[in-house]
Each structure stands twice: as C-alpha cells, then as structure tokens.
Amino acid sequence: MGFDLRGLDEFERSFLQRVIREMPDKVRKKLTELAYRYLADVKRLTPTGETGNLKNSIVVDSVKRVGNEWVVVVGSNAHYAAHVEYGHRIKRGSKYVGFVQGQHMFEIALKQLEEGIENDMKQWLKDIKEGRA
C-alpha cells in the first residue's frame, strides 16, 4: 500500500522524485521515522491481553529499496495477530457459536498516519531545500 500525495504541487512532486533518486539515505531516514511513528500508534491500539505478547511482537522489520519502490515492513510474527486485527469466529466443539470483532490496530494506525502525511512531507521537503534535514 502506498501513500497518495495529491496535495503536493508540481514542484514538490518533482523535488520529491529528485530526492528519492539522489538522496536515498535521507529517504531511508524519513521512512524509518515514519515506520516507528506508525509502530507506536499500532502498539497504542493493540490490546494488551494477559501477557502483552502480541504488542511486544510488533516490530519494524525493514526499510529497503526494491527496484524503484521503497518498502517498509511493520508486522508481527504472533500466529494470532491476524485474528486480532480482522476478527475471528468462536468455535465450540464442531459448531461456530459467535464472532469476535477485529481491533483493526494496523488499519486504524495507517489511516491516522496517512491523514498527516502530506503536511509532513511538505515540511520535510522544505527542510531539505533549506538544509535542515
């Protein structure tokens, strides 16, 4: 899933493309910052349960370039993470007797990050132009 940056004007878009091409270290640093901001929000929204294992298992796995794309992986290796995110059926014996609604912690945190991404990117590009980033 990528970010839609329609709010950037033509100059900002072309400048962003130039930064991506010519300054990969700055891009990696910014994406790492965004990944950890997202991670904090996901963890804040994740139910703790008795042990906190799910919350503790959520990590930033990698920030890397794959071809022309930058890929950021944030996730969990807990086998039940998807059940908590999306919900699951409750089974008693051979019958399904209910459904537990998902918490959507990854989805909600991503929407929250997306809401502020355009202004954040504009400020970051301005900082680069002015030598502050």
For residue 78, give Cα distances in angstroms to 55, 57, 81, 89. 9, 6, 5, 18
Q: Are 113 and 37 in contact (CB under 8 A)?
A: yes
- The answer to whether 54 and 46 have CB atoms below 8 angstroms apart is yes
Six token digits for residue 87: 């919900």
Q: What is the pTM of this model?
A: 0.84
- Residue 15's pLDDT is what? 82
pLDDT of residue 104: 97
- Those residues with Cβ within 8 angstroms of residue 98's Cβ, 6 or more apart along the chain or in another chain: 89, 90
- Per residue of the chain (133 residues), what is the pLDDT tens digit? 555 566 667 777 788 888 887 888 899 999 999 999 999 999 999 999 889 999 999 999 989 989 888 899 999 999 999 999 999 999 999 999 999 999 999 999 999 999 988 889 889 888 898 888 7
- What pLDDT does 43 receive? 97
Copy the structure tokens of residue 57: 């298992």
Cα–Cα distance for residue pair 15/57, rounded to 1 Å = 37
Cβ neighbourhood burial of 46 (10 Å; 0-12, 13-18, 19+): buried
